[in-house]
Amino acid sequence: MAVVGVTNPTLLDQIKRTNPDGSIADVGEALQQRNPVLLDATALEGNLPTGHRITIRDGLPSVGYRLLNQGITSSKSTTIQVDESAALLEGRSEVDVELARLNGNDAAFRASEDVAFLQAMNHQAMSTLFYGNTKTDPEQFHGFTPRYDSLTGGNNDNIIDFDAITGDAGSGADSNSIWMISWSPQTCFMIYPKGTVGGLDRRDLGIDYVNDGTAGQDFLAYRTHWTWRLGLAIKDWRYVVRFGGIDATDFVATETSLITGMVQMYNRMRDFNTGRTVIYCNRTVLEFIDLQVINKTNMYFTPVEWHGRQISGFRGIPIVVNDGLLATESPIAA
């Protein structure tokens, strides 16, 4: 796979650059451990206060051969514009001052609470990345699944249905997806609004009175406010491929079908030289794939290096577990 240079910044890069004094770096490293997408996803500042406007070429100019002393007709390409929205994810922590001091180390006690908020912010962000739907939840940003959910859509060539491979009439009780995504400014990337800070923003609001839920009864508490402005922009739909509707109730019986679908994914990716290509799946799917890696007769699954460690790969592409992916997805629409 081609290596994409420093001109393709990741979300983790943006988080580490949030605060010039470096104080946000610890938050970035801690979040990285809970969110592997941070190591891969390109993150760019949008060109709109609410997100990012993409200009997409949807038509090429006409060209042709000509004879000497014979002219040709001038032409031009055509473009369309699409506005991608960003969302505002927030949280607020309030810790009783006296409770924190019982521990003998106020900072350590608050840090332990920060870890919980990091986990909660991460879970929500990753859930929205794959399942956010602005049609039903306008406060969120639009994720991958509602964009790649129908075999009759404009991007249906990049949607592979497990049922179509196996010949089943419908998915079983569990339904999983595998995603192949190429991250780059020209293909698919995360966004944050124009003029804002990229990544997770942690603000220590100090000590203030907090109401305990009873009228007129307050107590002193350490207050921390968490903010994450983020969205998803897909500039070229050909660089995202979904293999969905995977019934994992009996992987042994469906091993060949799983490999068939992943081969189709590989061949429907536009190319592997434009972006940083990664495959994402949940733990249920990855466990079965890991078992295939130790199968010496399987030439498709092999170990690969991903950010300094060995993980399973498919034809050289790293396969990364993402806990934001469900095992109970709805079937792909026909």
- Residue length, the chain? 334
72 belongs to a structural domain: no
Q: Specify the 3-state DSSP secondary structure of 294.
A: coil
Identify the pLDDT of residue 182. 96
Identify the pLDDT of residue 12. 57
198 belongs to a structural domain: no
73 belongs to a structural domain: no
100 belongs to a structural domain: yes
Q: At what angle do helices 25-34 and 106-131 cross, to 10 degrees?
A: 50
Phi, psi dihedrals of residue 106, rounded to the nearest 5°: -55, -45
Identify the pLDDT of residue 18. 47
Identify the pLDDT of residue 39. 84
Identify the pLDDT of residue 11. 57
Q: At what angle do helices 255-268 and 283-293 cross, to 10 degrees?
A: 100
316 belongs to a structural domain: yes
What are the average pLDDT values for consecutive 10-residue runs of the chain, which has 334 residues? 48 52 47 69 92 85 84 83 91 85 77 78 90 95 95 88 76 79 95 86 87 84 89 95 86 76 94 94 88 76 88 93 90 83
Identify the pLDDT of residue 183. 96
Provide the domain limits for residue 178.
Answer: 11-59+78-191+204-321
Q: Per the structure, how many domains does the chain have? A: 1
Query: Around Cβ 13, how many Cβ atoms within 10 Å?
Result: 17
H or E element at residue 313: strand 309-314
Identify the pLDDT of residue 34. 55
Identify the pLDDT of residue 215. 80
∠ CA 95-96-99 to the nearest 5 degrees? 105
Identify the pLDDT of residue 98. 85
91 belongs to a structural domain: yes
Tally the C-alpha atoms within 13 A of residue 208's C-alpha that lie toward its C-beta. Answer: 10
66 belongs to a structural domain: no
pLDDT in tens, 47-106: 999 999 988 877 788 888 888 888 888 888 887 888 999 999 998 888 888 888 876 777
252 belongs to a structural domain: yes
